Amino acid sequence: MTATQRMAILHALTAIPLMVLTLLSYGCQPHKEIECSENMLRKINLRFDWEDLPQAHHEGMTVYFFPTENDGRIWRFDIAGQTGGQVELSPGTYRMLAFNNDTHNVRFTDTGHYDLFGATTPGITTLQNESAATPPLRTMPENIYAGCIDNLDITICGVRYSEPSSPEGKTVECGKSIVKCPMNYRTCIYTVIIRNVKNSDRTVSIAGSLSGLAGGITLANGDLQPPDVTEPFPMAVHKPQTITGSLTCFGHIESDTNILTVTARLNDGTTVNARRDVTEQIVNSPDPHNVTIVIDGLEIPDGETPKPPIGEGDLDVGVDGWTVIIIDINTEN
């Protein structure tokens, strides 16, 4: 090997580390160019957890992000389906509220406040409900489910929040900006079963109503809202001696009495009703979100003059008492 060849090899070996340093230096430059501004929107991947609600199926979800700073912007997103989706919003600390948006007769209230954001339903007026002493009638809400994350930090590095389902308040940090939000009941289903019904073949139509129910609910924490209301609901003769019906409501007011009223229109043109106190069954139900109310024994008038009405303090399962009434129901626009 000549001296010229040795010098060429030496120059080449010396140039390799210089090239590596140059490439490393060049490789760092893009990091400076993609540094995120604090005002740049962040992509958040939302996942709604329905593990405890396997029968819930909804067409879409609405999500609100309430900034912890008083002068911050409130963000709202509507997402198709119920599994989740991607949204973009500014970095910061938020309180997140999510609920299904496929309801039609539910009215949302105080939507600018996380702690007060509520749900209620329209009222109903009847000739018998004009007295101020009578609890207002409300239409039934559709099924509502909600989930919330009380403290959600959105940063340039991802997201950080306290896991809602963890009693210890376990902190979740995710560089992929995935937020998992468990969903919970915000409405209840009450099923009414009346067994051993006599003269059920005399009914042309039959309906029920239940008093002592909450007029609304706060979505974030599930607190019931006043006033106490009565909800009418449809019923039907299920079998010759069984009448059934169901209603959806926000829940039972603890300080109130739940009176079940059964109203029947008979084949002779008269309309009658009977009442039962079902508070104990509702209070003692093992699942407050799925309550079954059972009445055993009810005799529909056989065409003779109905028995005198039962007094307020004498309501008792198994004791029949019917009142002839006139009903004219109209829903508010």
pLDDT reading at 238 higher than 60: yes
pLDDT value of residue 330: 36
Tokens 């029968």 — which residue?
Answer: 55
Residue-wise over 104-141: b if at least 16 C-beta within 10 A, else e?
eebebeeeeebeebbbbbeebeeeeeeeeeebebbbbb
Q: Chain centroid to CA 291: how far?
A: 17
DSSP code for 252: B
Whether residue 26 lies inside any domain: the answer is no
| Same-domain status, 317 and 223 | yes
| Separation of first and last alpha carbons in the chain | 102
Joined tokens for residue 225: 């809202």
Last residue of a domain, one of 185, 209, 236: 185
| Same-domain status, 262 and 295 | yes
| Same-domain status, 164 and 208 | no
pLDDT, tens digit, 9 for 90 and up, residues 165-190? 766 667 888 888 999 999 999 999 99
| Same-domain status, 69 and 197 | no
Can you name the residues that pair with 106 across neighbouring β-strands? none
CB 74 within 8 A of CB 64: yes
- Domain containing 98: what range? 42-103+143-185
Share the mean pLDDT of the chain.
Answer: 81
Whether residue 224 lies inside any domain: the answer is yes
pLDDT value of residue 56: 87
| Same-domain status, 98 and 49 | yes
Q: Tally the domains of the chain.
A: 2
Q: What is the spatial distance between Cα 137 and Cα 122, in angstroms, rounded to a whole number?
A: 9
Nearest in space to 183 (alpha carbons), one of 61, 59, 44, 45: 61
Q: What is the identity of the amino acid at 248?
A: T
Whether residue 219 lies inside any domain: the answer is yes
| Same-domain status, 252 and 325 | yes
CATH code of 58's domain: 2.60.40
Pairing relation of β-strands 178-182 and 42-49? parallel
Whether residue 22 lies inside any domain: the answer is no
| Same-domain status, 56 and 172 | yes
Whether residue 202 lies inside any domain: the answer is yes
Q: What is the spatial distance between Cα 196 and Cα 242, in angstroms, rounded to a whole number?
A: 6
pLDDT value of residue 162: 87
Whether residue 53 lies inside any domain: the answer is yes
pLDDT value of residue 10: 44
| Same-domain status, 63 and 46 | yes
| Same-domain status, 89 and 163 | yes
| Same-domain status, 243 and 160 | no
Mean pLDDT of 65-78: 91
pLDDT value of residue 171: 84
Q: What is the spatial distance between Cα 94 and Cα 246, in angstroms, rounded to a whole number?
A: 38
Whether residue 112 lies inside any domain: the answer is no
Q: What is the spatial distance between Cα 100 and Cα 112, in angstroms, rounded to a whole number?
A: 18
pLDDT reading at 39 higher than 70: no
Mean pLDDT of 125-133: 52
CB 277 within 8 A of CB 327: no
pLDDT, tens digit, 9 for 90 and up, residues 272-293? 989 999 999 999 999 999 999 9
CA angle, 287 as apex, 255 and 46 as ends, to 5°? 105
pLDDT band at 319 (very low <50, low <70, confident <90, very high): very low
| Same-domain status, 252 and 224 | yes
Whether residue 124 lies inside any domain: the answer is no
| Same-domain status, 294 and 219 | yes
What are the strands, taking DSSP E only, across 11-71? 42-49, 60-67
Q: What is the spatial distance between Cα 302 and Cα 320, in angstroms, rounded to a whole number?
A: 13
pLDDT reading at 93 higher than 80: yes
Last residue of a domain, one of 159, 185, 211: 185
